[in-house]
Structure 1
Amino acid sequence: MSANRLYSAFDTEHPKPRHTSGQDHRTPFQIDRDRILHSSALRRLQGKTQVFYSFLGGEYDFYRTRLTHSLEVAQIGRSICGWLSKSSDLLRDGESVDADLVEAACLAHDLGHPPFGHTGERALHDLMAPYGGFEGNAQTLRQLTVTLFAESRDGINPTRALLDGVLKYKTLQVETPEAANHYLYNDQETYLDFVLGSQAFPAELTPGKERNGFRSLECQIMDWADDTAYSINDLADAIQAGFITPVKLEAWATQGVLSDAEAAHVDFLLKAMRDGKVEARLGRSIGEHIRACRLEERGNFLSASTRRYHFGLVVEPDIAARARVNKRIAKELVFDTPQLQQLDFKAASVIERLFNALRDHYIEPAPGRRSLHLLPEPVAKAIKAEPEKEQRARLVCDWIANLTDRSAFRVHQRLFDTSAGALEDLL
């Protein structure tokens, strides 16, 4: 297998030595991808919310989950790599954007999301505020470096390029303590330093928006693939589910000020809905989002260490604007509706009651409180071994974040629902 000259030993280095048999035919990025693909964390995404809560059975179990979304993002990410490698004249002979690396980043990008989507993330952030906060992207980094294959406490010991590929945010929580999201946990500074090759940020990359906008090429591709998937496919699900109808969409369009391009896109959606061709016509636009990508040359403080930072991703403005209007439609006609927000309220209350019960028994137990076995014994043992409440809280948070929507409801039912007394409720 010929080496891809876009990448060097700097990109394939690991936080700790990676032991292999010496006979593995795979590249380091393929090993990263395969370990994620076979992880329980990826499988659990099947039971986590994307748009519609995964506990909504029957007519709603056709719609996307966090897992199917991640698979779609991975496919789009690979296709963008192929398009860039084929179309860009900036790449030298023997260079291409590594599709296995981007696929790994795409598969991993939502591993840290808790049950109930962004509602669960916001609830855990508020509950974890005294203990260092909760952030989905930071939790993904924690999965990759600590909790996956937990017996080693090294996660999958990923390559530097993969860690950089999932690091959408490079600001520590202590640097922006008022932020509700878009930060890393403070104890992840070691991994941030590793990703940067122990180089300091230049003064102009201040904590927050500036620093978080400094992303590797692969991270930018992953982020656009994610935007593409949820701005198109989530919209298709919302239309198929009946949350967005021609009447509602027309009313929405008349209430705001749309550009000519935005109005034309709304007309396209209305025609697709009336023709009964939503999925096919929206699906074809994925190709337009892929071909809207091109590379641009850039220079920065990491350019001398890796060719990955010689290039940035540029997306055609009209396609980027189309993605933004799709997301606006979904937010205002789906996520902001009473039906969804009532379920959000229920989901947040489940997370809150679970966390508070576990806090009172494991994080900050009251003196003299009877010790109950509320958590699996290995989890409880690990928590009790931690001398600091912040670390105990982080382990409790790990356990809650790993739950699926249904398993969170079942645990809540056992703890709080007085009508739950059948044998099957215990299993």
Structure 2
Amino acid sequence: MTDLGVAGDLVVGPTTGHEPDGAGPDHAARAARRSLVPETGAALARSPFRVDRDRIVASPFFARLAGVTQVVSPTGSGLLVHNRLTHSLQVAQVGRAIAERLTADATTAAVLDRLGGLDADVVEAAALAHDLGHPPFGHLGEQVLDRLGRDQLGLPDGFEGNAQSFRIVTTIDLHGPGGTGLDLTAAVRAAVLKYPWARRGHPDPHPSAAALPPRGGGPLPGAPDAGSAKFSAYSTELDDLRAGRGAFGAIGPWQQTVEAAVMDLADDIAYAIHDLEDFHRVGVLQQAGVAAELRGWQQAGSAVGGDRPGAALERLRRRLENKDGWAYDAEAFAAAVERVRTELADGLLASSFDGSMAAERAVAEFSARWTARLVGGVRVLTDPPVRSAHVALATEQWHEVAVLKFVHHRFVLQRADLASHQRGQATVLAGLVGALHDWLAEDDSETRKPPRLRDLVELARGEFAAFAPAADVERLARGRAVVDYVASLTDGQATALLDVLTGRSARLWTDAAVL
């Protein structure tokens, strides 16, 4: 097994069995679009992948990300925090830097060509598109819509943000010349597929049944028969999944393309760093608690237990050791804890953020230093383990990202005040789904129902008619249309629309309009 890009850091463990076959990328297949509609002449770029990037940026689904939660809602909070739009821009920036770094080395670039190719424009386009399907209220909204979709609306696929992103660019958005979707190239469609399988059934064997599934491919927690926890295509978009990945013969059935792997890695890096910045700025991430947890583990190690400082970090260490033994290294984990304690707890967090130029400079320097370090730790694996990808972080940086994400999860996501806020958001989404679904079932005049909701029903009706039992088509179409409709709202639109549908709004005209 060959490891390129970072010397002296080899991975051991079960592998995919897919070494590069020696063939270069099929450029025509990578640039192929689903439609045969030629360019109109309005494109501003000659590269088909730059055209894809421009189509994504021009999409209203991209613009709406400015009003969608990253961790806390960007509307009405008065806080200057990342939203899904700024996050996507940062992922694109990091992804392009990784791609340019890897292709600058001739030896590495040759290996990447044999794996199907790596183009910085493809990575940038996929990064800009990867969160298009995120519903109102971020990951909380994703979980709620999935549960409602499966349990209340009877949709076997439920809801998944990655699959919704793929559905938008291939089916729902109308800003490409082909009639449906954005009519993106095969390479960009494949690069959006972070989890290149359906919830169940495709490919065969399906990752959810594997003793050691790929990351995200294991069963949904609490619903072992529901299929994979994460996936990137609904049953309605399986043909697009197959077509997009058809240009990548050197990639195993559960493996991301190289460009998808770079996008995924950039997403991890941006998430690990920039969310910590946000909560330092707003005073939520407190130095005392973070430092106590990290030092508690350093002092007691595996002996720490109960609720003592360091116990949660020890639980993380054990999960990494048990679940990701192919990458886990005890010394690297300890070194990562030390580095995060020194640079985050005893560095950035040692002084509270007061809005001064010095405080802003400290945040900027922390972000730049960590981004450069993590991007510098990227390497290429010709035959990666099943829970890795062809592009991965070196051992040191892999552990550092795990510890940084732990700090965010432990000291932000697990806060009781955030949990209470999210319960309210879950109530908003449940109310919207129920009200819209009931409205569709009523004998009301069709012209008085939201036009976009009616369009989505018609679209889904045609899709399900192609493969679902006739008796189920209408039920499935209404359920998918309601999910598509709610998922296309911003946080503010979701709240305002529920106020309208429940009579809580005294205004006839509100900001509840959708795309």
User: Which bin holds the TM-score, normalised by the shorter protein?
Assistant: 0.7 to 0.9
* Cα distance change, pair 381–80 in 1 and its aligned pair in 2 (3 A): closer
Structure-2 residue corresponding to 1:157:
183
Structure 1 residues 183-222: aligned runs within 5 Å: 183=231, 184-197=233-246, 211=254, 214-222=255-263
Q: Number of aligned residue pairs: give it.
A: 398
Output aligned runs, 1:48-127, within 5 Å. Answer: 48-58=68-78, 60=79, 62-87=80-105, 89-92=107-110, 97-127=118-148
Residue pairs, 1:5-24, within 5 angstroms: 8-21=27-40
Aligned to 2:226: 178
CA RMSD of aligned residues (A): 3.0
2 CA distance for matches of 1:247 and 1:339?
19
CA offsets 1:364-410 (integer angstroms, 9 cap, x no match): x26xx555877422432552683522122212211111100000010
The corresponding residue for 2:54 is: 34
Larger CA deviation: 269-278 vs 373-382: 373-382
Q: State the Cα distance separating 1:290 from its structure 2 match.
A: 1.3
Q: 1:354 to 1:259 in 2, by over 3 A?
A: same
Cross-structure match for 2:211: none
Gaps of 5+ in 1: 206-210, 301-310
Give the aligned residue type for 2:289: K
Please list, as runs of the form range in 1=range in 2, the aligned pairs for 1:9-408 lying within 5 A after superposition: 9-21=28-40, 26-58=46-78, 60=79, 62-87=80-105, 89-92=107-110, 97-129=118-150, 130-131=154-155, 132-149=157-174, 153-175=179-201, 177-179=225-227, 181-183=229-231, 184-197=233-246, 211=254, 214-253=255-294, 254=296, 255-256=309-310, 257=314, 259-270=334-345, 271-275=347-351, 276=359, 277-298=362-383, 312-362=390-440, 365=441, 370=444, 375-380=449-454, 382-383=456-457, 386=461, 388-408=474-494
Secondary structure (helix, strand or coil) at the match of 1:347 reads helix
Aligned in 2, Cα 1:370/1:424: closer, same or farther, shift over 3 Å?
Answer: closer
- Contact conserved, 1:105 with 1:166, CA < 8 A, in 2? yes
1:91 is displaced (CA, Å) by 2.2
389-398 or 100-109, larger mean C-alpha shift: 389-398
Alpha carbons 1:145, 1:153 under 8 Å: kept: no
Mark the CA change 1:417 to 1:263 in structure 2 (over 3 Å): closer, same or farther: farther
Give the unaligned 5+ runs of structure 2: 1-23, 202-207, 209-224, 297-308, 315-332, 352-358, 462-472
The 8 Å contact of residues 18 and 157 in structure 1, kept in 2 or not, is answered as: no
Q: CA deviation at 1:349?
A: 0.8
Deviations along 1:53-89, one digit per CA (max 9) or x if unpaired, are 122332x0x1111000000000111111111122352
C-alpha distance in structure 1 between counterparts of 2:485 and 2:397, whole Å:
39
In 2: Cα distance, 1:384 partner to 1:248 partner? 53
Give the aligned residue type for 2:108.
L
**What secondary structure is seen at the aligned counterpart in 2 of 1:91?**
helix
Matched residue type, 1:219: A
**Displacement of 1:116:** 0.3
Q: Please state whether the residue corresponding to 1:111 is helix, strand or coil.
A: coil
Contact 2:458 2:477 in 1 (8 A): no
Kept in 2: contact 1:269–1:278 (CA 8 A): no
Whole-angstrom CA distance in 1 between matches of 2:53 and 2:449: 31
Matched residue of 1:171: which SS? coil
2:248 and 2:257 in contact (8 A); partners too = no
Task: Name the amino acid aligned to 1:259.
Answer: A
SS in 2 for 1:178: strand
Which residue number in structure 1 is paired with residue 21 of structure 2? none
User: For residue 15 of structure 2, what is the aligned residue in structure 1?
Assistant: none
Change (3 A) 1:292 1:163: same
Q: Normalising by the residue count of structure 1, what TM-score does the alignment of the two structures yield? A: 0.85
Distance 1:179 1:347, change over 3 A: farther
Partner SS for 1:90:
helix
Contact 2:265/2:392 (<8 A) preserved: no
Q: 1:9 and 1:384 mapped to 2: Cα distance?
A: 34
Give, in whole Å, the separation in 1 of the partners of 2:398 and 2:190: 23
CA contact (8 A) 1:193 1:199 kept: no
Shift of 1:360: 1.3
The 3 A distance-change label for structure 1 pair 273 and 149 is same
